[in-house]
Amino acid sequence: MTKSEDSPAATRKTEADWIASLNDGRVVYYEGERIKDVTLDPKHRVAIDHSALDWRMAHDPEPAVRELTNTSLNGNVVSRYFEPPTSAASLDRRRQLIVDQTTRGLGYLVFVREVGTDALNGLRLATRAVDAAHKTDYYDRVISFRDDCAKNDLAMGMAMTDPKGDRALPPSAQAADGSYLRIVERGASGVVIRGAKVNITACPYVNELFVLPTRSMVPGDEDYAIACAVPASASGVVIVSKPLPAEDDEFDYPISSRARHTEGTVFFDNVFVPNERIFLNGETEFAGAVAEGFATWHRFTGLSYKSPMADMLVGAAALMADYNGLSGDKVIREKITDLVIYAETIKALNTAAALNGRAGDDGFFYPDPVASNLGKYYFATNYHNCIRILQDIAGGLTVTGPSHRDLQNPELRQYVDEFLGGREGVSGVDRLKAFKLVRDLTATEYAGTWLVATLHGEGSPAAQRLAINRAYDVDGMRDWMAGVLKSIEV
């Protein structure tokens, strides 16, 4: 950043400015009722305030925080998420920003910056290939749109997953037209799209929605091979937010009451998309490349934000063991070591994905696909066991202990302190706080959401195995070993 950009009052939006931008007439439903202004809805406001972290950090009084969060692009101060990855070091800066924001967010990623820029970064490489094959100008559109989003400091969500219907069939062979989002009309100035996208993180409170194909496609699927950007407030966009936890008590829900995001379903009811916002339009042979380009970036992001989450599991286990007087117990230490191995393996693969990044034909660096996919596969397939370990260390009071409301009764609070204390120096209330922390991480609705999201977010483990197989040079290793044998005289 230049000296002039070091000011906390640089060209980035303030937190209040960004939040105000969400009151734009968008159509959001929650539990059957239309929300007129999502910024005033108390349930969604927790998630919105959490997601505003990137804008708060942009104006932080501490220069080092602003330096981490902001960068310069085209003469403007923008979020570092828009930094063009021109080296392995720039990939690692992105990793560091995600780790920092997730740590500040108590294990929750901001989700409204990195997902959208994952899409932009993936589209960059894929659209160059489409342009070369079809004489299109998609790459220039992607760069122009990225610059616009950066300059206007917008939040972006990803609308990728289709309902899919019969998963054994390609989109054009589905019995129901609504199984995959599709183009229903093409014109000189743009297209009209119709359908649904599901599992859309942060969809009630982003400015833009990226629509990407969710899979490879075949001839005949031209109407389903669409990549584009749609304002969340566009006519015909209907957002349905998932049910959110009713609880907001920090004692009983020390994490989820303060750090939250939501997912939902987005319906596109004959939404017009102008040409300048279209990045793939019927080129079926590139649908898979567009999907995979995003997936590699998003798995790198997943590795980055899962690292602080893994550290939280280690910390909660160590705290619970301490309060239970078992810090020196050999069996407990072994269990905590398993959690440390989990956390450090994620960090190592995350760092490797950045530092082993490779340059694409556009000159930009991309995360190493083997390390990114391997890391995501590792954290997804081992997370459930880590939750089991933490539950095992903590014990049954994790889910059966008294609530915060019980502690408001002086008589019950006295019983808690007298009978539920831990090792010497740990009161019953303090020990109960630790149980509530473990409960929120492993046994609440928040925890259940993460069990599923860790497995399927950024793609299922089966998708990572396929990507690892494609990216790893198996044939090269085979030829190496064949060469070794050829040197042996018989």
Q: Residues 294-318: pLDDT tens digits?
A: 988 999 998 999 999 999 999 999 9
pLDDT exceeds 80 at position 6: no
Among left, alpha and beta (phi > 0; psi -120 to 50; other), residue 253 is: beta
**Closest Cα partner for 24 from 233, 209, 185, 179?**
233
Reported confidence tier of residue 7, pLDDT bands at 50, 70, 90: very low
pLDDT recorded at residue 400: 93
* CB neighbours of residue 57 within 10 Å: 23
Handedness of CA 44, 46, 48, 50 (dihedral sign): negative
Q: How confident is the model at residue 10 (pLDDT cuts 50, 70, 90)?
A: very low
- Structure tokens given for 418: 């007298």
Neighbouring C-beta atoms of residue 134, cutoff 10 Å: 15
How many of the other CB atoms lie within 10 Å of CB of 487? 6
At residue 4, does pLDDT exceed 60? no
Number of other CB atoms surrounding residue 59 within 10 Å: 18
- The answer, yes or no, to whether residue 81 has pLDDT greater than 70, is yes
Q: Is 97 exposed, middle or buried (0-12, 13-18, 19+ CB in 10 A)?
A: buried
Q: Are 312 and 109 in contact (CB under 8 A)?
A: no
What are the φ/ψ torsions at residue 266 (nearest 5 degrees)?
Answer: -120, 125
Start-to-end CA distance of the chain, whole Å, equals 65
Residue 130, exposed/middle/buried by CB under 10 A (0-12, 13-18, 19+)?
buried
* Three-class DSSP category at 136: coil
Look at 267 and 302; give whichever has higher pLDDT. Answer: 267
Q: What share of the chain has pLDDT > 90, as a percent?
A: 75
CA 189 to chain centre: 33
The answer to whether 248 touches 186, Cβ cutoff 8 Å, is: no
- CB environment 349-387: b (16+ within 10 A), e (fewer): bbbbbbebbeebeeebbbbbbbbbbbbbbbbbebbeebb
Among candidate residues 118, 119, 110, the one with its CA nearest the CA of residue 58: 110
125-132 long-range contacts (CB < 8 A, ≥24 apart) are: 125/293, 125/360, 125/361, 125/362, 125/364, 125/366, 126/280, 126/286, 126/289, 126/290, 126/293, 127/279, 127/280, 127/290, 128/360, 128/361, 128/362, 129/286, 129/289, 130/280, 130/283, 130/286
**Which CA distances in Å does 381 have to 93, 461, 467?**
27, 7, 16
252 is written with which tokens? 């009983």
Nearest alpha carbon to residue 267 among 242, 241, 238: 238
- Tokens representing residue 145 in the block: 């749109």
Q: Residue 3 — very low, low, confident or very high, per pLDDT cuts 50/70/90?
A: very low
Query: Poorest-confidence range of 23-32, 243-252, 287-296?
Result: 243-252
Residue type, position 326, single letter: L
CA distances from residue 267 to 115, 288, 390 in whole angstroms, order as listed: 19, 23, 39
Q: What is the mean pLDDT of the chain?
A: 91
Picking from 305, 450, 461, 314, the residue whose alpha carbon sits closest to that of residue 389 is: 314
* Res 408 pLDDT > 80: yes
Pairing of strands 70-73, 33-35: unpaired
Q: What is the pLDDT of residue 1?
A: 41
Q: Is 267 strand, coil or helix? A: strand
pLDDT digit string, tens, across residues 138-168: 999 999 999 999 999 999 999 999 999 888 8
> Of the ranges 40-49, 223-232, 273-282, which one carries the lowest mean pLDDT score?
40-49
pLDDT of residue 362 exceeding 90, the answer is no
Q: What is the pLDDT of residue 57?
A: 95
pLDDT of residue 175: 84
CA distances from 386 to 314, 338, 401 (A): 9, 8, 22
Pairing, β 237-241 against β 27-30: parallel
Whole-angstrom distance, CA of residue 447 vs CA of residue 466: 28
Q: At 197, is the secondary structure helix, strand, or coil? A: strand
Tell me the pLDDT band of 247, cut-offs 50, 70 and 90: low
Q: In the chain, helix, strand, coil percent, each to 5?
A: 55, 15, 30
Helix (H) or strand (E) holding 468: helix 461-471
The whole-model pTM stands at: 0.87
Answer for the pair 339, 309: CB distance below 8 angstroms, yes or no.
Answer: no
